[in-house]
């Protein structure tokens, strides 16, 4: 129970603003388990989005205002952790064709024009798609489920065989920490959850989100030589945007 509890604390403490005791041990095995638990650790975030989506219209708010508040709550609940990764990844991809220069830009922490544009465009896409989704029956519930499922991107990014771009950094412990069969099992479970929540369209959304994440990882490996913690965050945000867009169609 100890190792599993450490993984749970690592997942919740890293991916949400929910206060938890720090894990006693953080190694590759704990990190891999944490990534597999990421969708469950995100349940509080999904619940907040669902509640805002449900209560907003009851308070007389428009779907657009409700969607903005829901996304804002999600950003606050995750401490903008994944958005920071999205910004740094965009800056790294546009900074230079030199691998070392790109990694230096990503590590600097400052947001450049590409990073700002990426965050604005992805958040705008999420808000627009969520606005349409909240106009549908049980759209608030679907939105909450999709927030949780978007965190499956982390297991995919940490699957054994996906190389790391550098030996240090926040993501170094997580690189290659998840077995391929475990990743497959997680995504199959996610497909079942998506089907239960939205029917066949949910499975289609999940498949397309997986494809987007794979493209992000492929691009990162080609440009940076591997993945980083920033790439993990970009995968989550782009995966969520894809899920919301397809679900709202």
For 141-154, give the DSSP string. Answer: HHHHHHHHHHTHHH
Cα distances (angstroms) measured from residue 182 to each of 48, 69, 113, 178: 28, 35, 37, 7
Dig out the tokens for 40 from the structure: 């469950």
Backbone dihedral angles phi then psi of residue 135, each to the nearest 5 degrees:
-80, -10
Dig out the tokens for 104 from the structure: 């230096």
Is residue 16 scored above 80 in pLDDT?
A: yes
Report residue 98's pLDDT band, with 50, 70 and 90 as the boundaries: confident
Report residue 99's pLDDT band, with 50, 70 and 90 as the boundaries: confident
Give me the half-sphere count of Cα atoms (radius 13 Å) on the Cβ side of residue 52: 23
Report residue 63's pLDDT band, with 50, 70 and 90 as the boundaries: very high
Backbone dihedral angles phi then psi of residue 24, each to the nearest 5 degrees:
-75, -35
**Mean pLDDT for the chain overall:** 93
**Cα distance between residue 237 and residue 234, in whole Å:** 5
pTM to 2 decimals? 0.94
The pLDDT score that the predictor gives to residue 155 is 97
**Cα distance between residue 242 and residue 71, in whole Å:** 15
End-to-end CA distance of the chain: 42
Could you tell me what percent of the chain has a pLDDT over 70?
A: 98
What is the mean pLDDT of the segment spanning 15-20? 92
Is residue 96 scored above 80 in pLDDT?
A: no
Is residue 112 scored above 90 in pLDDT?
A: no
The pLDDT score that the predictor gives to residue 1 is 57
Report residue 172's pLDDT band, with 50, 70 and 90 as the boundaries: confident
Lowest mean pLDDT among 40-49, 90-99, 122-131, 152-161: 90-99
The pLDDT score that the predictor gives to residue 107 is 81
118 compared with 113, residue with greater pLDDT: 118
The pLDDT score that the predictor gives to residue 249 is 86
């Amino acid at each position: 129970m100890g190792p599993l509890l450490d993984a749970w604390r690592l997942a919740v403490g890293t991916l949400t603003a929910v206060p938890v005791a720090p894990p006693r041990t953080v190694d590759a095995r704990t990190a891999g388990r944490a990534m597999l638990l990421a969708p469950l650790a995100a349940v509080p975030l999904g619940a907040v989005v669902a509640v805002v989506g449900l209560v907003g219209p009851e308070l007389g708010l428009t779907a657009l205002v409700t969607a903005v508040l829901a996304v804002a709550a999600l950003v606050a609940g995750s401490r903008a952790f994944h958005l920071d990764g999205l910004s740094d990844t965009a800056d790294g991809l546009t900074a230079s064709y030199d691998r070392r220069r790109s990694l230096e830009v990503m590590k600097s922490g400052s947001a450049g024009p590409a990073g700002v544009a990426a965050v604005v465009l992805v958040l705008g896409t999420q808000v627009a798609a969520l606005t349409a989704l909240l106009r549908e029956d049980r759209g608030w519930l679907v939105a909450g489920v999709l927030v949780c499922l978007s965190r499956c991107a982390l297991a995919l990014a940490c699957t054994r065989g996906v190389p790391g771009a550098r030996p240090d950094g926040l993501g170094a412990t997580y690189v290659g920490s998840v077995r391929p069969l475990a990743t497959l099992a997680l995504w199959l479970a996610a497909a079942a959850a998506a089907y239960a929540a939205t029917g066949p369209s949910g499975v289609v959304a999940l498949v397309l989100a997986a494809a987007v994440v794979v493209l992000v990882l492929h691009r990162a490996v080609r440009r940076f030589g591997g993945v980083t913690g920033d790439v993990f965050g970009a995968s989550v945000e782009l995966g969520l945007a894809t899920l919301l867009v397809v679900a709202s169609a």
